[in-house]
Every structure is written in C-alpha cells, then in structure tokens.
Amino acid sequence: MCGIVAAVADRNIVPVLLEGLRKLEYRGYDSAGLALINELGLQRLRAVGRVAELTAQVDETGAAGNTGIAHTRWATHGVPSERNAHPHISDGLAVVHNGIIENHEALRTRLKADGYEFTSDTDTEVIAHLIAHELKTTGDFFTAVRASIAQLQGAYAIAVLREVEPDRVIVAREGSPLLLGLTDEGNYAASDASALLQVTRRMVYLDNGDCAELLRGSYRITRVDGTPVERAETESQLSADSVELGQYRHYMQKEIFEQPVALSNTLELIGAARSIQPGLLGADAEVTLKDVRQILIIACGTSYHAGLVARYWLEAIAGISCSVEVASEYRYRDSVPDPQTLVVTISQSGETADTLAALHHAKAQGMMRTLAICNVPESSLVRETALRFITRAGPEIGVASTKAFTTQLAALYLLTLVLAKLRGRLTAEHESAELTALRHLPVAVAKVLELEPQIKEWAGHFAMKQHALFLGRGRHYPIAMEGALKLKEISYIHAEAYAAGELKHGPLALVDKEMPVIAVAPNDTLIEKLKSNLQEVRARGGELYVFADADSEMQESDGVHVLHLPEHYGALSALLHVVPLQLLSYHVALVRGTDVDKPRNLAKSVTVE
C-alpha cells in the first residue's frame, strides 16, 4: 500500500526521501514519485516500478532541494503508470496521498465544472485541485488544505507543498497512518517510523483528524476546524532492524504476539472507511470481479487452510461457489476450466513453486482473472496476477506460519465482503456492522493472547504424548487442521484433524486415555452437534481440551478441560480460535525442546517442487 515521506530542512532532503521510500517498500507499491521545491521551482519526478528507477532519475537530473514530498503508490484508482503516479499537481502545488477517497467522483464532476483539467485516473488528483480551488478563496495554504479535507470522505494521509511557499509542508491524516519526525535541522513526516529512523528517533504520532504545518524550525498541529492541539513527542524504540527478536525467545513467539499489529496494518485501508471498496484489491478489481461465476482457491500448507476457511465465508456470505485445491494436486489434474472463474492464489512468501506452477496451469487454461493474497509485495506471485492484496504481516521468520495466516484470513474476509457487495448481498447496515467487527479484530486478538498462562499449563499435558486429535465443525474444521499442522511441525507429535461429525466413521477407534482430543468449540450453530461428538470421545476415556468462547456454556468436568476465549466473534471467530492453537503448539515444542523456529526437514520458502 502507498507510503509517504515529506521533509523541510536546512539540507538537501532528496537522499532522505529516497531512503525513506526504500524503508516503506515492504508496504507494497507499483510506482514511485517525488516533488521538490528548488531553483527550478516545482520539480516532479515519477517512475513506474521500483524506487531504484526513481533514484536513477534523481541521479540523472541531479535533483536536489530543501523541501520535498515523496510517495510509493499501490494502485487503487487507475492502473500503475507514470501519469497516475504521485505527486499530483494543480496550480503550483503538489500532493501525495495514501488511502481511498470514496466521494472522488462527485468532487471530480464539480471541479471539472469549475474548469479544472484532470491528467490522471486517480482519486488523489481531486485533492490537488480542491486545495488549489480553496486557496483562491481562503488565500492561506494551511486553511485551504483544512477546508479541502473537510470535504473528503474515506481514508487518507496526505502531504502537500506549494511552489510559492518553499519552506512549508502541510500534512493531514484520517484513517491512514502518518507521523512527524523532529530534528534540529528540520522537520519530517512519514507513513511509519522506519522511514525516518535514518534522521531521528523523535516522533509525534498524529491522530485521526489532525493536520500539521511543518516549517524548518517549528511545527504546529490543529484539528480540521483549525483548533490547535498538542500531541506528545515520543522517543521511537523501533529497532532499525525489524527482524530482531527483542524481548522474545523465538521468532514464532514474537510473530504470534505481533498479530494484533499485523492485522491492524493489513486492515489499515478500512480504518476510517464508511464502505467496502473493490479498489482494496487493485485498480481493476471492480471490472475483474463483476461477473465472476465461481472462485478457485489454490495454495499449500497453512495458506491452503486459510483458503478452506474462506470457502465457508464466500459461499455463505457472498453466495458464490468456491473450491479450494492443494496447489501440487491442481497443477497436475485434468480439471474443467471456466474463464469466468476468479483464481485466488494464497501464499506468505509468494515464491512457493507449486502455487506458482498451479497459477501458470490455470492461466494456460484460459483463466486470466487472477488474484494473489501475499505477504511479499515484490514476489513472483504478485507480479504474475492481475489483482493483488498485500497482507501487511511484516517479515515472518519462524518456519511455522502464524501472523501470515491470520492476515490472510483478514484479506479473504475482505474479498468475501467485496464480492458480497458487488453481488448485491450486503445491505448498508450489514456492511457497517462488518466494518466495525473488522476494526475491533486486533483488540479481540490481543485479548486472546492474554490466555497464554493457561495455555502454557495445558502444554505440560501434551508434552509426553505421541498423538493428538483435533476436532472442529464448519469453518472451524480448517482451524482444527491448522492446529494439527502447527503441533506436528514444531513439536513432532503426530496430530490429525477431523471434522467432528466424521469421528464415528473411523477415528473414534483411536480414542483412549492416551489420546488427547482438542476441540475448537465457539458458540455457533453447530455447537450442540459438536457437544454430542465430544460426549462420544469422553465416553471412550479420551481427555478433552476444549477451546470454547464467552457465549458457550461448556463446563469443566473430570477429563474435560475448558478454556473460554474472551469474546464470541461470529463469522470471524476462526481468526480468534487459531491463536490459542498456535500458542499451544509453541509451548508444547518448548517443553519438548525442539528447534521451534527451524523445525527439522522444513524450509520457510518452498521454492522447489
């Protein structure tokens, strides 16, 4: 997703802007640009592709300046191209923007009627013209920016500069992140702290609805209506190297605990949105998705489990038929292609050989509507699909995937809602409830993480076991599968997952007092059926470990251990219920003394067949 860096200082700030953009590359982008004020007036450079292409232009032109704004763009409105790359210019002022302006069409119509000419397909250009227009009446740059953003609906972080005021940058945010970096030689702004650590650790985080004026020697913050506000200055503790372990013993533990942040980063674009926009999935999403007839999800391992959960959502909420295939099977299978299928590939790394080959296979059969859900923006998978959603889990080092999985689920839920909306199955009321539930998700996950001490206690019961059974029903059956995969890959305990209804069709024969049975049991429509399945286990002497939730009435009894998750979370409960299973595997592995982050025989990125 887009990244912003802005600067006004007593030095040439171009190297700072470029280094800042490089630090923001992880957010995902397809073009980059910057605008400077220098002896040429307002100078703009833009390039499709990598920040390296923009750097080459800077080297070629010798561009330099004391005031500038820079941007990496991840296309939502308008294809990736130089003309759509930011900054956008109107009447001597330049704007960069992160987010989506939902009312851009109405504003564009009005501005066109006022004589403004548009040179791009972006929603951002509307902001540039709007500020230029407001300047004509207000005469003051800061006031004009505030008057303009008061008219915007949607999510944004913006930075603006003006040729005739060379020592002034105005920034504002609503929904999308933005912070200030303070130094004695000038002031800076960026989408996240990592971009500014090169010059300072003194940061000021802006709140939603804040606007700020940056000068070389000072800054001030106001609300949109101009009321001055103070925001605390903090000393950033962020490591320049985000892959350091910090307070954690293992990367897997760190990554489990990073899930609330990973989810809020992944869901950043809906932060202040009032509606769900197809543009979340890329500039052409609406056209590509409109008459899709069915969904085919292809992935491996944990990513495959994310796809299995999504099938329940896609069919129930979006009303679209969905199949999910293991990539290594699909690529060699004679299947029946349908060009109106949306092929969704899911991968943390974006380099998994089987998933890539399966995508090639689907395309070779004429299925060109493709979407990647991936954590690595520069990966092969992302380059080869028509649409993409970059999960913002941050680097995942532990071989066992954790935060990548939950962010994949969040992305798949957004896809479900986008399709439901395009297919007329999402009322405004439902849409707003879904947005509220998604926004609260990071907090809900954080509360589940507080159960760690109890889960640690349970882990002791498993350490000496050789086998374990995981049970779930409905969309929690794939969560049981994921729990079993986590346990086997890092603790080397043999674990199998079953749809609980299948128990008496065979696996019940395995159950005795040596077989711990873990049940994923949120209070959904299948809870009574699941309870009967659990009775069957208990009657055969099996020890039960039940992950219930706040609403379920499951009680502890002899041989039945119950842990209640703090909230019941409806359709999204799969996202919460996987977290205790991750923690359980982690603590069982610790007790058994295995190499948690690098389990034997496994690799993080499976780039061979």
Interface with ligand F6R (CB under 6 A), residue from 300, 324, 560, 581: 300
DSSP-H helix ranges across 471-572? 477-491, 527-539
Task: Kindly tell me which residue out of 348, 533, 552, 585 binds ligand F6R, with binding defined by CB under 6 A.
Answer: 348
Residue 345 interacts with ligand F6R (CB under 6 A)? Answer: no
Virtual torsion, Cα 301, 470, 479, 521, nearest 10 deg: 180
Q: Is 302 a residue that touches ligand F6R (CB under 6 A)?
A: yes
Sequence-distant (6+) residues with CB within 8 A of 83 are 119, 120
For the bound state, the minimum distance from the C-beta of residue 154 to ligand F6R, rounded and expressed in Å, comes to 31
Cα torsion angle, 510, 564, 594, 241, sign: positive
Q: 471-500 mask for ligand F6R (x: CB under 6 A)?
A: --------------x---x-----------
The answer to whether 402 touches 581, Cβ cutoff 8 Å, is no
Residue 456 half-sphere exposure, CB side, CA atoms within 13 Å? 7
Which listed range, 37-45, 179-187, 346-354, 412-420, lies at the site for ligand F6R (CB under 6 A)? 346-354
Whole-number Å distance between alpha carbons of 604 and 430: 39
Nearer to ligand F6R among residue 391 and residue 416 (C-beta): 391
Residues 183-222 that bind ligand F6R (CB under 6 A): none
- 302 vs 407, which CB is nearer to ligand F6R? 302
Range 200-205, long-range pairs (CB < 8 A, 24+ positions):
201/235, 201/236, 202/233, 202/234, 202/235, 202/236, 203/179, 203/233, 203/234, 203/235, 203/236, 204/179, 204/180, 204/231, 204/232, 204/233, 204/234, 205/179, 205/231, 205/234
Do residues 432 and 274 lie in contact, with contact meaning Cβ atoms separated by under 8 Å?
yes
To ligand F6R, the closest distance from the beta carbon of 495 in angstroms equals 13
Q: How far is CA 135 from the centre of its chain?
A: 36
Closer CB to ligand F6R, 300 or 411, in the complex: 300
Q: Indicate the residue whose CB is closest to ligand F6R.
A: 301
Of 561 and 604, CB closest to ligand F6R: 604
Nearer to ligand F6R, 222 or 375 (CB): 375
Instruction: Supply the minimum distance, in Å, between the C-beta of residue 401 and ligand F6R.
Output: 3
Our finding on whether 401 is near ligand F6R (CB under 6 A) is yes
CB 331 within 8 A of CB 354: yes
**Which of 349, 407, 582, 585: binder of ligand F6R (CB under 6 A)?**
349
Tell me the C-alpha distance between 558 and 11, whole Å: 72
CA–CA separation, 72 vs 80, rounded Å? 11
> Whole-number minimum distance, CB 476 to ligand F6R, in Å?
18
Query: Cα-Cα-Cα-Cα dihedral of 578, 584, 590, 592, to 10°?
Result: -120
Shortest distance, position 41 Cβ to ligand F6R, whole Å = 47
Nearer to ligand F6R, 542 or 599 (CB): 599
307 in contact with ligand F6R (CB under 6 A):
no
Say whether 290 is catalytic: no
Number of residues that bind ligand F6R (CB under 6 A): 15
Q: How far is the CB of 301 from ligand F6R (least distance, A)?
A: 2
To ligand F6R, the closest distance from the beta carbon of 376 in angstroms equals 8
2 is catalytic: yes
Closest Cα partner for 583 from 516, 524, 518, 539? 518
Query: Across-strand partners of 150?
Result: none
Of 526, 514, 530, 525, which is closest to residue 562 (Cα–Cα)? Answer: 530
Query: Least distance in Å: CB of 379 to ligand F6R?
Result: 9
In sign, the C-alpha dihedral spanning 46, 50, 51, 53 is: negative
Asked if residues 462 and 516 have their Cβ atoms less than 8 Å apart, the reply is yes
Which one of 182-190, 295-303, 361-369, 558-566 is the stretch in contact with ligand F6R (CB under 6 A)? 295-303
Q: Which of 282, 301, 483, 522 is close enough to bind ligand F6R by CB under 6 A?
A: 301
Among residues 447, 465, 531, 604, which one is catalytic?
604
Q: Is 355 in the site for ligand F6R (CB under 6 A)?
A: yes
Nearest CB to ligand F6R, comparing residues 463 and 606: 606
Residues 566-605 that bind ligand F6R (CB under 6 A): 605
259 binds ligand F6R (CB under 6 A): no
From 2, 211, 300, 322, active-site residue: 2
| Binding range to ligand F6R, per CB under 6 A, among 21-29, 257-265, 296-304, 508-516 | 296-304
Report which residue type is found at 581. Answer: L
66, 341, 347, 407: residue in contact with ligand F6R (rule CB under 6 A) = 347
Exposure class string for 212-245: b at 16+ Cβ within 10 A, else e: bbbebeebebbebeeeeeeeeeeebeeeeeeeee
Amino acid at 319: G
Please, how many CA atoms are within 13 Å of residue 408, restricted to the half-sphere of its CB?
Answer: 33
- Decide if residue 352 touches ligand F6R (CB under 6 A): yes
Place of tokens 């001055």: 228
Number of H helices and E strands in the chain, helices first, is 18, 25
Q: Is 380 in the site for ligand F6R (CB under 6 A)?
A: no
Within residues 49-78, the interface with ligand F6R by CB under 6 A covers none
Which of residues 32, 295, 393, 400 is near ligand F6R by CB under 6 A?
A: 400
Active site residues: 2, 604
Contacts to ligand F6R by CB under 6 A: 300-303, 347-349, 352, 355, 400-401, 485, 489, 605-606
